[in-house]
Amino acid sequence: MTCVPGGIPISQLIGERLPITGFVGFYAVLIAVAISLAMGTIAALRRGRAADTIATSIAVLGISMPDFWLSYILVFALALGWHLFPAYGFVSPSDSPLGALYSGFLPALAIAAPMAAVFARMLRASLLETASREYVVVARSLGFSAPFVFRHYIFRNALIPYVTVIGLQIRYLLGGVVVIERIFGIQGLGSLMVDAAFARDYPTVLACTIVFLSIVLLVNLAVDLICVALDPRRST
Amino acid sequence: MISRRQRRSRLFAAFLGNPTAVLGAAITAFVLLAATLGAALMPYGPNYTDFMDLLSSPSLAHPFGTDSLGRDVLTRVLYGARVSLVVSAAGVAIAAVVGTALGMTSAYKGGVADVVLMRLADLLFAFPSFVLALFLMVVLGFGTANVSLAIALTYFPIFARLARNMTLLVREEPFVQAARLMAEPTPQILLREILPNIAAPLIVQVTIGIAFGIVIESGLSFLGVGVQPPTPSLGVIMADGREYFQRAPWVLTLTGVAISCALLGLNLFGDGLRDLMDPRLRQRAQQ
C-alpha cells in the first residue's frame, strides 16, 4: 500500500520512523523506571514519614498532569529559563546517539513523569505488601540484616506486580508519544499519524494504528517473559 | 441486621474519616461550581473579542489575561471546563451503560456470546487508548460529539470487563438463585438483584473514567482533531495558547493549572472512594 499524498510506500515511511519512536519510548521507560524505583523504594522504607508524604504527593500530582501540559512546563523551565536543553527539534539516533539522548531528554521526561508516578505508587504498595508476608517475618526473626532481607526477600518478589504495571502502562506511553512528538517536532510514528489524520490519509492512519497495536502486544509478551524469569513458578 | 439508613450514615462517617476522599470531593465540587455558576457569572462571553486589549497579562479585569483575539481567558477556561466535563461525562456515561450491560449479560448468560464479547473487549483493550481515540476521530470526523463517542468506545471495554468479573462473583449467590427459582425474568434479576451489588466498583470507575476522558479530550483538541474552535474546551484553549506561549505564557499555563485541578480532584475522589469500597482497606483504617 502507498500513502495517499506522494505515493510513497507506507512500509517505507513506517520503517523510517519506527526506530525514532522506539528510541523515545524506550528512553521514556528507562527514565520512568529510574525515577519510580527511587521514589517508590524511599516511600516504602520511610513509610508515614515526610519522605513518604512528599513522594506520594508528587505521584498524585504527576497523574493529574497530562503529558502535553507537563512538556510545556519543562520547556519553560529547562529550555527557555535555564537553557539546559533544546526547546524544539530532535537529532535522530542514527545521526548522533549522544545528540539523540540530549535532545530527546525533555520529550522523554514529559512522557515518563506521569508514568513514573503510577509506577512509584505501585512499587510502594507492592513493597509494603511483600514486607508483611510471613516468610519475610521469618527471615527477620532468623537474624538476617535489614538490607539483606530487603534485597533477597522483599525487593525481587515486589517487582512482579511492578513489571506487570509497566506492561499495562505501555498503552498510555504510546498515546503520550503521539502528542509529545508533535510538540517537540520529532519525526516519529506519532507525528506521521497526526499528519496523516489531517490529510485524511486513511491507509497511513490505519497502518500506524496497527503498528502501535503490535508494539503493545510485543511489549506485553516481553513483560510476561520477564515475570516468568522473576518467578519461575509461572513457567508451567 | 443493620438498616439501610444506619449503613448509609456509617458509610458517610467513613467518608469523612478519609481525607483523600474529602479533599477530592471538595476540589471536584469547586471545579463543578466554577464550570457552571462561575462561567455564568462572568461579565464576558466565551467568544467576546476586544481588539483593544490583545494578549494583556493577568489583571483585575482579566484574572487570567486575554488571548490573541482579546478574549478573556478565565471566561474561556470556565466555559471550556464545562465543555470538557460534559464531553467526557457523556462519553463515560455511554461507556458505563453499554459496557456494564454487555459485561453483565455476557457473564450471566455465558456461552459463545460471552467468549466473543470478551475477546472483542481484549482486542480493544490492547490498543493504546489515545491512538485508538485518534483513529476513531479520523474515521468518525472531527467535532465535539465524536470526541464523546471516541471516549465511549475506548473506555467501554473497561466497564465490560469489570461488570463481567463482578457479575461472575455474585451470580451464584443464594439471593440470585432464589430470584431465579421465583421465576423472575432475567432483565429484572440483572437490574434488581445483581446491579445494586456490583455498583460500587462501577461508580469508582466512572469517577476515574471522567478524568481519563478529560485527558483524551484535551489531547485530541490540543492536536486539533477534537473539539473545533471557536468552541472553547480545555484542549482548544491550550492549543491556542501554544501559538504564542513565549509572548503570553499565562494562557497555556493557567489553562494547564485548571486541567490539573479538575484531574486532581477526580483522581483523589476516585482513589478515596475505592478505599472506602474496599473492605480490606477499610478494616485496616479502623484498626
* Ramachandran quadrant class, A6 (left: phi over 0; alpha: psi -120 to 50; beta: rest): left
Please report, for residues A171, A175, B134, B196, the alpha-carbon distance to residue B142 in angstroms, rounded to integers and kept in the order given: 23, 18, 10, 37
Cell numbers for B130, please give them.
489515545
- Tell me whether A131 touches chain B (CB under 8 Å): no
> Which residues on A lie below 8 Å from B247 (Cβ)?
none
Q: Which pLDDT score is estimated for B287?
A: 43
- Tell me whether B210 touches chain A (CB under 8 Å): no
pTM of the model: 0.86
Cell numbers for B283, please give them.
478494616
For A121-151, write each residue's pLDDT tens digit: 888 888 888 888 888 888 888 888 888 888 8
CA distance B66 to B62: 7
Residues facing residue B72 across a β-bridge: B66
> Which residues on A lie below 8 Å from B23 (Cβ)?
none
The CATH code for residues A17-126+158-235 is 1.10.3720.10
Question: Domain tally for chain B?
Answer: 1
Nearest to B207 by CA among B264, B148, B162, B253: B264
Q: What percent of chain A has pLDDT over 90?
A: 9
> Which residues on A lie below 8 Å from B268 (Cβ)?
60
Put simply, the answer to whether A212 touches B134 (Cβ < 8 Å) is no
Predicted complex ipTM: 0.83
Q: Which pLDDT score is estimated for A4?
A: 62
Domain span including residue B119: 18-37+70-286
By Cβ distance, the residue of A60, A72, A193 closest to B134 is A193
For residue A224, is pLDDT > 60?
yes
- The list of chain B residues with pLDDT below 50 reads 285-287
- The domains of chain A are located at 17-126+158-235
Q: Which pLDDT score is estimated for B285?
A: 47
Q: What percent of chain B has pLDDT over 90?
A: 30
Q: Is residue B195 part of a domain?
A: yes
By Cβ distance, the residue of B137, B211, B245 closest to A72 is B245
Residues facing residue A9 across a β-bridge: A2
CA distance B255 to A73: 12
Q: What one-character DSSP code corresponds to residue B58? A: P
CA distance A84 to B247: 20
CA distance B96 to B158: 9
Q: Which of A64-78, A201-215, B86-100 has the lowest mean pLDDT?
A: A64-78
What distance lies between CA B123 and its chain's CA centroid? 22
What amino acid is encoded at B267 in this protein? Answer: N
Domain of residue B216, CATH code:
1.10.3720.10
Q: How confident is the model at residue A76 (pLDDT cuts 50, 70, 90)?
A: confident
Residues facing residue A2 across a β-bridge: A9
For A95-119, write each residue's pLDDT tens digit: 777 777 777 888 888 888 888 888 8
Among B132, B134, B136, most A C-beta atoms within 10 A, so best to mutate, is B134
Q: Is residue B3 part of a domain?
A: no
By Cβ distance, the residue of B131, B132, B259 closest to A69 is B259
